[in-house]
Amino acid sequence: MPTITLLYAGLLGILSLILAAAVGRRRGAAGISIGLGDDAELLVANRRHGNFVEFVPMALILMALLEMNGVGAMTLHVFGLVLTVARICHPLGLHSDTMSTPLRAIGAGATFLLTAVMSIWAVVAYLAATV
């Protein structure tokens, strides 16, 4: 049972709900039921949540599979902490008026790098187990 991943899935699930609620609040405030209209704040809230759901599920799947294949607890906690911090940084740095902010770069970069590391680790673990 991937119990360490369970912790981070729970924490990130709460963050996903916070991001989704921000979209709902903005929809209500702007009176926009479907789509984004011309509301820049709704667009940003929508992309903050959208980016989260585009990247977090794969990272958690990889983390759980690595845990189930014997990756150590310390490594898994590092993965989970990096993912959680990255996914907090990214929406804080995502704004409609500027393309590049430090928090956005940290969040996106750390998520991308972590997913790449875990993906490669998974392939290597598979090859080691089958060769």
Token digits of residue 121: 């680790």
What is the structure's pLDDT at 131? 87
Token digits of residue 103: 């928090």
What is the structure's pLDDT at 104? 96
Domains located in the chain, CATH noted: 3-130 (1.20.120.550)
CB-CB neighbours of 123 under 10 Å: 10
pLDDT averaged per 10 residues, the chain (length 131): 97 98 97 93 97 98 98 98 98 92 97 98 97 87
87 contacts 111 by C-beta, under 8 angstroms? yes
Sign of the dihedral defined by the CA atoms of residues 71, 77, 82, 86, in that order: positive
What is the structure's pLDDT at 99? 85
Token digits of residue 31: 């009176």
- C-alpha–C-alpha distance, residues 45 and 51, integer Å: 10
| Dihedral Cα 64, 68, 74, 79, nearest 10 deg | -20
- C-alpha–C-alpha distance, residues 48 and 22, integer Å: 9
Predicted model pTM: 0.95
CA distances from 51 to 31, 45, 104, 116, 126 (A): 23, 10, 11, 17, 29
What is the structure's pLDDT at 110? 98
